[in-house]
Amino acid sequence: MKVNIEDISSVKKKLHVEIPKEDVTKEIDKFYTKLQKSVKVKGFRPGKVPRSILENRFKNEAASEVNAQLINMSYPRALQENNLVPLGNPKFDYPELVSGQEYKYSATVEVKPPIAIDEHTGLKLKKTIYTVSDDQIEEKLKTIQHNQAQLKTIDEDRPVTAGDFVQIDYEGFKDGKPFAPVGKTENFIAEVGSEKLLKEVSDQLIGMTRGETKIFPVKFPDDYLPKILAGEEVSFTATVKEIKEQILPEINDEFAKDVGQFSSLEELKSAIREEMERNFNNFSERELYEQIIDKLIEKTEFEAPEVLVNYETQVMTKDAETAFASQNLSPQDMGYTQETFLKKYGPAAERKVRGLLILDKIIEQEGFKINDEILDAGFRNLSNKLGQPVESIKMVYKQDKEQAANLEHKFLEEHAIRFIIDNSTVEEVETDSKEKKMD
For residue 417, what pLDDT is reported? 97
Q: At residue 160, what are phi and psi to the nearest 5 degrees?
A: -70, 135
Other CB atoms within 10 Å distance of the CB of residue 79: 19
Distance CA(428)–CA(419), nearest Å, equals 18
What does the pLDDT read at residue 436? 56
pLDDT on residue 107: 96
Q: What is the DSSP letter of 8?
A: S
**Where do the domains of the chain lie, and which CATH numbers do they carry?**
2-110 (3.30.70.1050), 124-131+256-431 (1.10.3120.10), 150-247 (3.10.50.40)
pLDDT of residue 435: 52
Check residues 264 and 59 and name the one with the higher pLDDT. Answer: 264
pLDDT tens for residues 110-153? 999 999 988 899 999 999 999 999 999 999 999 999 999 999 99
Least confident of 14-18, 84-88, 276-280, 322-326: 322-326
Give 279-310 pLDDT, tens digit per residue.
999 999 999 999 999 999 999 999 999 999 99
pLDDT tens digits, one per residue of 224-248: 988 889 999 999 999 999 999 999 9
**Contact (Cβ atoms closer than 8 angstroms) between residue 22 and residue 110:** no
In the chain, what is the straight-line distance between the N-terminal and C-terminal CA atoms, in Å?
62
Q: What is the pLDDT of residues 314-342, one digit of tens each?
A: 999 999 888 888 877 788 777 788 888 88
Across 271-281, average pLDDT:
93
Of 399, 396, 394, residue with least CA distance to 372: 394
Q: Strands 233-247 and 213-219: what pairing?
A: antiparallel
pLDDT at 228: 87
Q: Where are the beta strands (DSSP E) in 123-232?
A: 124-130, 150-153, 165-174, 177-178, 184-191, 213-219
Asked whether residue 261 carries a pLDDT value surpassing 90, the answer given is no
Question: Is a pLDDT exceeding 70 seen at residue 439?
Answer: no
Higher-confidence residue of 87 and 338: namely 87
Nearest alpha carbon to residue 134 among 277, 323, 273, 236: 273
3-state secondary structure of 425: strand
Confidence of residue 83 (pLDDT cuts 50, 70, 90): very high
pLDDT for the residue 403: 85
| CA atoms of 360 and 120, how far apart (whole Å) | 12
Higher pLDDT, 377 or 98: 377
Alpha-carbon gap, residue 416 to 114, rounded angstroms: 19
* Predicted TM-score of the model (pTM): 0.81
399 band by pLDDT with thresholds 50, 70 and 90? confident
Averaged pLDDT of the chain: 92
What pLDDT score was predicted for residue 437?
Answer: 52
